[in-house]
Structure 1
Amino acid sequence: MIEIKKILCPVDFSETSNYALTYAIDFAKVFNAELELFHVIFDESQIVAFYLPQVTFQNFDKELEEAAKKEMDKLVEDFEELKNVNYSVKFAKGTPFLEIINEAKENSFDMIVIGTHGRTGLEHALFGSTAEKVVRKAPCPVFTVRLKGHKFKMP
């Protein structure tokens, strides 16, 4: 039988990410597994600094971190189901798919539960699908979650 003791759930506070979290919580309950909510603060300062070298980032990083922590606190508060599972919260800074993969490898996660559409529009075109990259490179099985009613449109 498959043993799932540690589940990684990357969250970006999008509707899809929150929906994926409902699956991660259910898996954690069924398998009596630890659940880690993992948020990556995208290091956009590198990109902005390239295009706008005159901009300073002394407080920018701190403000991003504080905003992410507030969003995470709200998310945890909104998901009462988390009270019924052993969960933790962790933050990282960098490129989301790389940080997710590194976290899964370094901490021997048995499964990743991730939403399929966090970014949209220009961000998606520039950075691609985080979920797709995680699926391709993850060291463990990845369960992808799409919003109910989300319709695929052929290009």
Structure 2
Amino acid sequence: MINNYSNILAAVDGSKNAELALKHGVAIAKEKGSTLYLLSVVDENAISHSSYAYSKVLAEEKEAIEKELLKNIYYATEQGLDDVIPIVEIGNPKEMISSIIPNNQAIDLIVIGATGKGMIQSNQLGTTTTYVVQNAPCSVFVVKS
């Protein structure tokens, strides 16, 4: 790799491609001696359409994401990566991954799966990955299975 990335963001959502993005992000961060940020976003829009109480669904979703992030942190540290920072946010995944977190954390590489959990909606709305590639302020590495 040409660039000496110092802050890498891996977007994870529990999907197969996100798992591959995690593995690539860990490998690149280890090779470059970078900080790896693991971002998982609770899609507020998807939850707001739930028939259950919003706060209950939000709390359950956030808890599930935090458990998944713990597994991801464990994997990264098992691979020898010391500087891993988990981030759980509530909001629009497209905006969080493409601009809000990269700008707040001085991210210089985003690693993201080609498709994620929202694959069914992609025909109607466009994929999160496409949005990130088009709007990110830094390089984006798209991982496919």
Query: Which TM-score band (shorter chain)?
Result: 0.7 to 0.9
Q: Secondary structure at the match of 2:117?
A: coil
User: Aligned-residue CA RMSD in angstroms?
Assistant: 1.9
Mapped contact 2:73–2:86 kept (Cα < 8 A): no
CA drift of 1:78 comes to: 4.4
Larger helix fraction of residues: 2
* Distance 1:121-1:40 versus aligned 2 partners, 3 A rule: closer
Which stretch has the larger CA shift, 70-79 or 106-115? Answer: 70-79
Q: Equivalents in 2 of 1:111, 1:141: separation in Å?
A: 5
Q: Does 1:12 align with 2:13?
A: yes
CA drift of 1:59 comes to: 1.4
* Distance 1:71-1:2 versus aligned 2 partners, 3 A rule: closer
Q: What is residue 41 of structure 1 aligned with on the other side?
A: 42
CA drift of 1:11 comes to: 0.4
Mapped contact 1:25–1:85 kept (Cα < 8 A): no
Under a length normalisation based on structure 1, what TM-score does the superposition of the two structures give?
0.81
Could you list the per-position Cα deviations for residues 75-133 of structure 1 after superposition, in whole angstroms to 9, with x for gaps in the alignment?
3334521x433111011111111011210112111111111011365333344211110
Letter in 2 for 1:69: E
Q: Secondary structure at the match of 2:94?
A: helix
Which stretch has the larger CA shift, 29-38 or 115-124? Answer: 115-124
- After TM superposition, the structure 1 = structure 2 runs for residues 6-155 of structure 1, keeping only pairs within 5 Å, are 6-43=7-44, 44-46=46-48, 48=49, 55-79=52-76, 80-81=78-79, 83-101=80-98, 102-119=100-117, 122-147=120-145
* Distance 1:2-1:71 versus aligned 2 partners, 3 A rule: closer
Q: Percent identity?
A: 27
Q: Secondary structure at the match of 2:53?
A: coil
Which stretch has the larger CA shift, 32-41 or 61-70? Answer: 61-70
* Distance 1:119-1:5 versus aligned 2 partners, 3 A rule: same
Could you list the structure 1 runs, at least 4 aligned residues long, displaced by more than 2 angstroms after superposition: 74-80, 119-128
CA drift of 1:74 comes to: 2.6
CA drift of 1:19 comes to: 0.7
